[in-house]
Structure 1
Amino acid sequence: MFNKKQKQLDNNERPSLVTLTRPSSVIAEQFRTIRTNIQFSMVDKNLKTLVITSAGPGAGKSTISANLAVTFAMQGKKVLIVDADMRKPTVHKTFRLPNRDGLTTLLTERDVEIKDIAHRVDTEGLFIITSGVIPPNPSELLASKRMDQLITEFEDLFDLIIFDMPPVIAVTDAQVMASKADGTIFVVNKDGADKEMDTKSKELLEKVKANVIGVVFNRVELKGDNYYYYYGAE
């Protein structure tokens, strides 16, 4: 169905994808805990679209997005991760994919179909749409009727769609998409947490009636593991 060829990568090439490189680690288990907490937070509603954002840069939201996508795919779900950070995209770097075409292409070229853009990677059930060319008007594109149409099309094709968004404080992109998504996860960096920025972000998300279903407290040192990264959604 999807025209993009499957991408085979050695796990050693993907240090940020700990759910693939170290699936038995404490960190990978924390991602499975986050997955479970997300599922329990939406028991009365079918969660199809999930926004991942943070207050500012450097919180690790893109790493969280990628590993959550892998974790849900490993559960047997058909998962799509969309790099909707059309200002500073990183998903293509994480998965070592080309970024010539992507979300921008789907938003601006009506004759292009999802199957022509989505990358099918070697993790069963996981698909990637990169950002594509950086446009001059990301917020307007995300707020467009075309974006609404794409979300509906995504929901018809996949069990879960994860949108990796820019930080809330910097631009309105995350607010726009949080207002459209079933749920939003907010990532907080333990070492760089700014209470004022986090509070402001919370207020901005509340203004658009975003359904913030959890917070991931990132880069928390875990005893017995050489990395320090993640806890779970609360």
Structure 2
Amino acid sequence: MGLFKKEKSLDQASMKEGVGLITLTEPTSVIAEQFRTVRTNIQFSSIDQKLRSVVFTSAGPLQGKSTVSANVAVTWADQGVDVLLVDADMRRPTVHQTFQVPNKRGLTSLLTEETFDLTNTIQKTPVDHLFVLPCGVVPPNPSELLNTKKMDKLIQELTKHFDLVIFDVPPVISVTDAQILASKVDGTILVVPQGIVEKGSVAKSKELLEVVHARILGTIMNRVKAENTGGYYGGYYGTEDK
């Protein structure tokens, strides 16, 4: 048996339109409140160590990690915390579309140029205290770019300027990008969609992250149906990324 249930082929919807920001468009909704709960749980998971950088990933593609990371970033910024959302998914970038910012320059630029020109690369968003670093030009060698001392220095530089840096990275099992970045940051969150991902793939993802000594803060179960939660979540997160 494969690690994943049969999924639809990868579409380009999120890459063309971005992901839904319900925490911004419907801040009083049940779903938005659940994202705030997720934020609080992450905060309390790291009491002994100040959390300055965190990776959001999933076992496989089309599992909602970009939607979750973007919405959690909004809720964190709502607290008055200066947050930077980095599109480190240099294979299927979405952040520039989600926040409607230019993508001519981005993470790729900072990793390939001699100096870090943060001023002309990091973009403001409509959300106070929330900034984004888009992917930039999609490179032919994402893993090689991330697995460099320059990436280490960039993380150090970004955490000097922002209270929290959130990285949206590719799925763990698909490519090595997530393992590379997870080994460099303070914590990793695994997004697990109910009814889509197999237990074996979640276990495999955990194993791969542990191999690189990633600090796994926990998992977020999304796409949970109301009948499976006693109605508590009110159909939390819906059935598809929009």
Task: State the TM-score, normalizing by the size of structure 1.
Answer: 0.89
For 1:155, the aligned partner's letter is: T
- 1:121-140 to 2 correspondences below 5 Å: 121-140=125-144
Q: Is the 8 A contact 2:35 2:71 kept in 1?
A: yes
Q: Does 1:32 align with 2:36?
A: yes
Q: Does 1:74 align with 2:78?
A: yes
Q: Is the 8 A contact 1:15 1:21 kept in 2?
A: no
- Corresponding residue for 1:229? 237
Task: State the Cα distance separating 1:75 from its structure 2 match.
Answer: 0.5
> 2:120 is paired with a residue of what secondary structure?
helix
- Corresponding residue for 1:8? none
Q: Does 1:99 align with 2:103?
A: yes
Q: Is the 8 A contact 1:25 1:225 kept in 2?
A: no
Task: State the Cα distance separating 1:224 from its structure 2 match.
Answer: 8.3
**Structure 1: distance between partners of 2:69 and 2:119:** 21
Question: Which of residues 162, 165, 170 in structure 2 aligns to 1:166?
Answer: 170
Task: State the Cα distance separating 1:98 from its structure 2 match.
Answer: 2.2
Task: State the TM-score, normalizing by the size of structure 2.
Answer: 0.86
- Corresponding residue for 2:114? 110
**Structure 2: distance between partners of 1:196 and 1:136:** 30
**Structure 2: distance between partners of 1:55 and 1:46:** 26
Task: State the Cα distance separating 1:212 from its structure 2 match.
Answer: 0.6
Q: Is the 8 A contact 1:58 1:189 kept in 2?
A: no
1:195 to 1:159, Cα distance in 2 relative to 1, 3 A: same
For 2:95, the aligned partner's letter is: V
What percent identity do the matched residue pairs reach? 57
For 1:184, the aligned partner's letter is: T
- Corresponding residue for 1:151? 155
1:149 to 1:188, Cα distance in 2 relative to 1, 3 A: same
Task: Give the root-mean-square deviation of aligned CA atoms.
Answer: 1.7
- Corresponding residue for 2:198? 194
Q: Deviations over 1:63-87 (max 9, x none)?
A: 0010011000001100000000001
> 2:224 is paired with a residue of what secondary structure?
strand
Unaligned segments of structure 2, at least 5 residues = 1-16
> 1:163 is paired with a residue of what secondary structure?
strand
Q: Is the 8 A contact 1:14 1:21 kept in 2?
A: no
For 1:25, the aligned partner's letter is: S
Q: Does 1:207 align with 2:211?
A: yes
1:134 to 1:224, Cα distance in 2 relative to 1, 3 A: same
Task: State the Cα distance separating 1:91 from its structure 2 match.
Answer: 1.0
Task: State the Cα distance separating 1:112 from its structure 2 match.
Answer: 4.6
Unaligned segments of structure 1, at least 5 residues = 1-12
